[in-house]
Structure formats: structure tokens, C-alpha cells
């Protein structure tokens, strides 16, 4: 029988055989803990356990994997390990069994079992990230970065942490460092909302990097209110100084004056701002409302 691999998500959950057990469990557990679920099709408690343990594994975000072994088809491994009752779950780390449990235990117990191996799951990680976000907003960049880095050490593909570190480096003016963190994101996470927003924020910061002083653009506009490039550059410069509503006002005015300028450039720039700021940011909400009133009035 060929092992059937399915996702929950990705390759975090797979079926194994006697022949593939060494690769799927022993070798793989050198990279992260692997849980082995010994089960059989006739076992009712096994069917109860499956969705609960797969949910907990998914909450670990890649820090642990689940391998399922049908003891009817492949009795050799459970026989060697002394598995006499199912469901039974054994955790392997660095090629050795280190912990386990038997029966269709409650979700809270399964989460505690996994957390002993890899640290906080799901809500625990989110709480840490909320704390880091609060520190960043309060100006404690170092404290925030320390928490984001700790989360990444446990979960290297945590896109919220990666995106936050990109933004912190932008805030510090270290665009090269921001680019490095952005490039560290897994290729299959490129469309993730956190990563897309961080990419947009970096692109906006790079656009504004070589712009001059605000006064230059303001003087050009005073001399010629239809200097669209000056108005556009002023909006970028204002945003770089975190004056979002002022930046919005300039781009909305530009859309109103000449929608076709630079191939609809002002509207496109607004959309990029909204992505960089995030959909719930007050400036994004205000900007979308103002843009809609201009486009559809």
C-alpha cells in the first residue's frame, strides 16, 4: 500500500507505512517533533481523535507534524513499541519517543501535550504578538522586536511576526534590513495578507527614500496647482512622515483634478497606501470613503 499524504494544512499531516516510518518519523523528528497517531479503521475513538489532534497540530503552525499509522495494515512498528490499545499517540524528538497519551482525550489535553513540546499554540502566540504590537505602538521598538524574534524562533514561517519586523525596520529607516526580513518569508506565503501589506509598506518607503523636503513640493504647487508630479511626490513625502490624512488629501485632490494622469497613478497609489496601512487603519477607512465619493459621485 502506498502512503497517502493529505494536508491539514500543507504536509503537516501524512500517513506512513512500515517502510517509510524511518524517514517520516525518525529522520523528520530531527527537524521538529513528530506525533505518531496509531489507529485503525474500526476504532471509533480514533475517528473522534482525528479532527481534534489535526486542529491542534495546525495551531502549532509548522512546529510539529502528525504522522498516522494504520496498525491493521502495518502492525510491525506498533508491535515493536508495545502499542496494545488505540488510539495511541507517541511524540518523537531527535529520533526518540519522548512523550505520549492514549485514548480520545479532550482538546485541551492535546494542546497541553503539544505545548510541552513546542511552546504556546494559537491564542498563546497571538497574545504574545498582541503584546509586541502594543510595545511597538508605544515606541518600545527593542521590546517589540525581542518578542517577534522569539515567536519566529519557535515558528519561522509566522507571517505576522515577519511582517511586523519588516515594519519595525522601515520605521528605523533600515530598508535593507526590512527587505531581508521580507525575503525570509516562505515562497508559499507571498500572498499572505500580512506579507502583502509589509511588501506594500516597503515599496512605499522605497518610493519616498530619495524625495526632497516638503517645502520644495509645496512651493511648486503654490506656483502651479496643476503640477501633478509635485502633488504626487508631496503625498509620498507626507506619508513617509506618518501624516497619512494629509497624504490622502493630496492624492484625492489629484484624482479629482486628473484621473488619467500617469495611467491612473494617484488612485493606484492610494490603493497601495491602503494595503500598506491595513484595511482597518482609520486612514484606510477614511481614504476609501473619500475615494469612492470622488469616483462614483
Question: From CA 235, how far away is CA 233, in angstroms rounded?
Answer: 5
Question: From CA 52, how far away is CA 262, in angstroms rounded?
Answer: 54
Q: Is residue 109 annotated as part of the catalytic site, yes or no?
A: no
| 37 bridge partner residues | 68, 89
Q: Which of 297, 197, 223, 295 is nearest to 254 (CA)?
A: 295
Cβ 166 vs Cβ 151: under 8 Å: no
Q: Which residues touch 43 (CB under 8 Å, ≥6 apart)?
A: 86, 87
The DSSP code for 188 is G
Question: From CA 95, how far away is CA 129, in angstroms rounded?
Answer: 32
Q: Which residues touch 133 (CB under 8 Å, ≥6 apart)?
A: 144, 164
Q: What is the CA radius of gyration of the chain?
A: 26
User: To 5 degrees, how large is the angle CA 173–CA 283–CA 232?
Assistant: 65
Q: Which of 12, 35, 46, 198 is catalytic?
A: 46
Q: Is residue 188 annotated as part of the catalytic site, yes or no?
A: no
DSSP β-ladder status, 34-39 and 88-93: antiparallel
Question: From CA 265, how far away is CA 36, in angstroms rounded?
Answer: 54
Q: Which of 43, 163, 164, 178 is catalytic?
A: 43
The upper half-sphere exposure of residue 214, i.e. CA atoms within 13 Å in the direction of its Cβ, equals: 12
- What is the set of active-site residues? 43, 46
Amino acid at each position: 500500500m502506498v502512503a497517502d499524504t493529505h494536508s491539514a494544512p500543507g504536509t503537516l499531516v501524512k500517513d506512513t507505512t512500515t517502510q517509510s516510518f524511518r524517514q517520516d518519523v525518525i529522520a523528520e523528528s530531527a527537524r521538529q517533533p513528530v506525533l505518531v497517531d496509531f489507529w485503525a479503521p474500526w476504532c471509533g475513538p480514533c475517528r473522534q481523535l482525528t479532527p481534534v489532534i489535526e486542529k491542534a497540530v495546525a495551531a502549532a503552525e509548522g512546529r510539529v507534524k502528525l504522522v498516522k499509522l494504520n496498525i491493521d495494515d502495518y502492525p510491525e512498528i506498533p508491535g515493536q513499541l508495545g502499542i496494545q490499545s488505540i488510539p495511541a499517540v507517541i511524540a518523537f524528538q531527535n529520533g526518540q519517543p519522548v512523550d505520549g497519551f492514549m485514548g480520545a482525550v479532550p482538546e485541551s489535553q492535546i494542546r497541553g501535550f503539544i505545548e510541552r513540546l513546542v511552546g504556546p499554540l494559537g491564542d498563546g502566540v497571538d497574545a504574545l504578538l498582541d503584546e509586541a504590537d502594543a510595545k511597538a505602538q508605544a515606541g518600545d521598538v527593542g521590546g517589540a522586536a525581542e518578542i517577534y524574534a522569539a515567536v519566529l524562533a519557535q515558528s519561522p514561517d509566522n507571517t505576522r511576526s515577519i511582517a511586523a519586523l519588516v515594519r519595525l525596520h522601515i520605521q528605523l529607516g533600515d530598508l535593507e534590513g526590512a527587505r531581508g526580513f521580507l525575503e525570509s518569508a516562505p515562497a508559499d506565503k507571498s500572498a499572505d495578507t500580512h506579507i502583502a501589506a509589509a511588501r506594500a509598506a516597503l515599496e512605499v518607503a522605497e518610493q519616498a527614500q530619495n524625495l526632497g523636503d516638503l517645502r520644495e513640493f509645496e512651493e511648486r504647487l503654490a506656483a502651479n496647482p496643476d503640477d501633478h508630479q509635485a502633488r504626487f511626490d508631496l503625498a509620498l513625502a507626507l506619508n513617509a512622515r506618518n501624516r497619512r490624512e494629509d497624504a490622502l488629501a493630496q492624492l484625492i485632490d489629484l484624482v479629482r483634478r486628473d484621473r488619467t494622469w500617469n495611467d491612473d497613478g494617484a488612485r493606484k497609489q492610494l490603493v497601495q497606501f491602503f494595503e500598506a496601512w491595513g484595511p482597518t487603519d482609520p486612514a484606510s477607512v477614511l481614504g476609501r470613503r473619500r475615494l469612492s465619493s470622488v469616483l462614483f459621485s
